[in-house]
Amino acid sequence: MAIWGGLALWFALPGADGIRTTFALGFVALGAGSLLTALLRRRLIVPLLPFAIVFVALLAWWSTIEASNDRAWQSDVEMLPLVEINADVITLRNIRSFNYSSETDYTPRWYNKTVDMRQLDTLDLVAVYWMGDAIAHTMLSFGFAGEQIAISIETRKEQGETYSPLAGFFRRYELFYVVAEESDLIGLRTSYREPPEDVFLYRVNIPRENIRRLFLQYVSKINELHERPEFYNTATTNCTTNIVMHVRAFQERVPLSWKMLLSGYFPDLVYERGKLDQSLPFDALRRQSHINERARAADGADDFSRRIREGLPGIP
């Protein structure tokens, strides 16, 4: 409790680093001192009572921290997407399509697009690795008769912020659904980040009606976040757990697995469930689904999405 409270104060308390450090270390010291006193005196209630009172006060403050859409955002997450539905006609607003020179040097471009739900016929899973096999960033790409709309569930960072998995446990970042072209989301990771991240693309084999249900789940969440912002959480509300949450909204039985938490193994889990190409063992499928060279060769091309899929297993 002392360690959690100290981290909560450090990551979520407003103010300068010195102020946050003082409160965080003071809270940890109070907890450690109370526990040590209780052990030495072999009594619990009196020695731990001061810490318990302060901890309740901390929880009361913690409950007042609310997510917001009104902050000084970094320019790559500045525009919230919004979706308008008119029968089968879907209008996507604030689609991101940046022209990158480097990860931090880019020309912003946001635009709107109208798609026909009746043309939504494919779903691809994109897994991005940058720190070993256990951790990956997962994205979905929806195909409308060959025209791709990619959606990435990320943190919405403020100006000057950097991403920290530990900070993600403590209401530091808002949840953000990036709706973008694949040349943006994939090209950024393969061609402009240093070092480049390893990107794998898999065709997901599920019925078309389920692809459309999943897309509508995404649409619903995107519009919900526009009205009621939420916090990102490294463990429970992230790029992979939210995919599972959206699937469970229309599919009754989605068995839990540790591979949902260790997101690097999520494609392996989808393969085990029979939803990826089964003509190859997974290790071979994974090797052939690595698209970094294709993406670099297609950088800047109008047919980026087609070129990165040429010859991939399970994709005509």
Q: Give the separation between CA 222 and CA 229, rounded to whole angstroms.
A: 10
Q: Is the dihedral of CA 18, 19, 24, 26 positive or negative?
A: positive
Cα dist. 220→143, 248, 284, 298 in Å? 18, 14, 36, 32
Q: Note the pTM of the prediction, 2 decimals.
A: 0.92
pLDDT digit string (tens) for 46-56? 888 999 999 99
Contacts of 35 (CB under 8 A, 6+ apart): 2, 47, 48, 51
Question: Please, where are the H alpha helices in the chain?
Answer: 2-12, 17-41, 45-63, 182-187, 208-227, 241-248, 266-272, 282-288, 292-297, 304-309
Q: Give the separation between CA 152 and CA 186, rounded to whole angstroms.
A: 10
pLDDT in tens, the chain (316 residues): 999 999 999 999 988 999 999 999 999 999 999 999 988 888 888 888 999 999 999 999 999 999 999 999 999 999 999 999 999 999 999 999 999 999 999 999 999 999 999 999 999 999 999 989 999 999 999 999 989 999 999 999 999 999 999 999 999 999 999 999 999 999 999 999 999 999 999 999 999 999 999 999 999 999 999 999 999 999 999 999 999 999 988 876 778 888 888 999 999 999 999 999 999 999 999 999 999 999 999 999 999 999 999 999 999 8
Please tell me whether residue 127 adopts helix, strand or coil conformation: strand
Q: Give the separation between CA 14 and CA 282, rounded to whole angstroms.
A: 47
Cα angle for residues 155, 158, 159 (degrees, 5° grid): 135
pLDDT digit string (tens) for 218-265? 999 999 999 999 999 999 999 999 999 999 888 767 788 888 889 999
